[in-house]
Amino acid sequence: MRMRTFHDFRSDTVTTPTPEMRQAMAEAEVGDDVLGDDPTVKQLERLAADLVGKESSLFVPSGTMGNAIAVKVLTQEGDAVVVEERSHIYNLESAHLSVISRVLPKPIPSEKGSMKPETIEELVQRKNIHMPPVRLITVENTHNYYGGTVVPLDNLMQLRDLAHLHSLKIHLDGARIFNAEAASGTKAAEYAEYSDSIMFCLSKGLGAPIGSMLAGSEDFIESGRRVRKLLGGGMRQVGVVAAAGIVALTSMRKRLEEDHRRAKTLARGLNGTNGLEVTPEAVETNMVIVGLNHPTIGAVDFTRKAAEHGLLVLSTGRNRLRFVTHKDVTDEDVEKAIEIAREIMI
């Protein structure tokens, strides 16, 4: 029986490994990474650290674990952590801030992910025995909720100045930092320069099947390695998947521009469709946010009808959809998505 073909725009995590990745995985030299014996993991960690201009890096199973490790290392129990109010680390990572690090999140508003230093400074200056001290600022770049928007380098520079002034740390949730690099022309290492640590994903956009990288100073990574073990993230002959990560970082970064182009094409094609609200000019990277303004069709209805037509897309609210382009989305997939959306909204 022939499997049904879907046009999958749910996330850039749904990609399949490339033939080059599969070959590298099959041929990978491996060892016990917990014992520090896996040469392929060591190669990946060196490459990742160099790409973001940090001393060292750590291969972790997921971006959520990478963020959790960073917060645990950079804070003490009872501290406060500044988070953007719609950030992934605050809303979509199962409360590890409170459960694992036992810190108090301090959510603040932003302009599409860019937080104002003066807003953070107000929190920092409220020092008394009744309030936990702010020790860490987390930044998300690109910003998922706002549709893959790029947080400008200037904003990170301003936050770094504030952090220096008040002896704060900055962690950069750069799950899609190479999308930011491709869209802005600013190197990932330039963004990372203004943070104490950075996490980025190999399995979002870059096409690897598993894994994320956490980078920072050698001391930071040494502490992070112990926390990874504490969280159950110690892996053995993991070079078989680290090999795919090496291919992702060496061969897949430049092609992200294709995803961005297709996202813009999709936004322009959906724009003007009855009941859909799209702003093509707002599309910066590989995500298209679509609002629904229809008397009978909401986001859940749309996703159900779309799946019946072979189009997979995520609902991120009652009247909000998110389409994500990635390496397995073709120009033909984009054309078909536009066609199906128009048919549903007639």
> Per-residue pLDDT tens for 158-170?
999 999 999 999 9
What's residue 4's pLDDT? 57
- Is the peptide bond preceding residue 75 cis, with omega within 30 degrees of 0? no
What are the boundaries of each domain within the chain? 19-251, 255-344
User: Could you tell me which of 340, 11, 7, 8 has the C-alpha nearest to residue 176?
Assistant: 11
> pLDDT tens, 88-109?
999 999 999 999 999 999 999 9
3 state SS of 12: coil
In contact, 115 and 139? CB cutoff 8 Å: yes
In angstroms, the Cα distances linking 246 to 213, 263, 271 are 11, 26, 38
pLDDT of 126 reads 84
From the options 3.90.550.10, 3.40.30.10, 3.90.1150.10, 3.30.450.20, give the CATH code of 255-344: 3.90.1150.10
Instruction: Give the model confidence (pLDDT) of 36-95 as tens digits.
Output: 999 999 999 999 999 999 999 999 999 999 999 999 999 999 999 999 999 999 999 999
| Mean pLDDT on 308-328 | 96
Q: Rounded CA gap, 278 and 260, in Å?
A: 16
The dihedral formed by the CA atoms of 217, 219, 223 and 226, expressed in degrees to the nearest 10: 100
Rounded distance between C-alpha atoms, residue 327 and residue 258, angstroms = 8
User: Taking a C-beta distance cutoff of 8 angstroms, is the pair 227, 69 a contact?
Assistant: yes
- For 207-286, where are the E strands, in sequence order? 212-216, 276-277
pLDDT of residue 1: 35
Condensed to tens digits (0 to 9), the pLDDT of residues 273-315 reads: 999 999 999 999 999 999 999 999 999 999 999 999 999 999 9
- The band of 5, judged by pLDDT with boundaries at 50, 70 and 90, is confident
**Residue 15 φ/ψ region, left for φ over 0, alpha for ψ in the -120 to 50 degree band, beta for the rest:** beta
Considering only the top CATH level, what class is 19-251?
alpha beta
* Mean pLDDT, residues 262-283 taken together: 97
What pTM does this model have?
0.96
- Is 2 a residue whose pLDDT tops 90? no
Structure tokens at 45: 């960690």
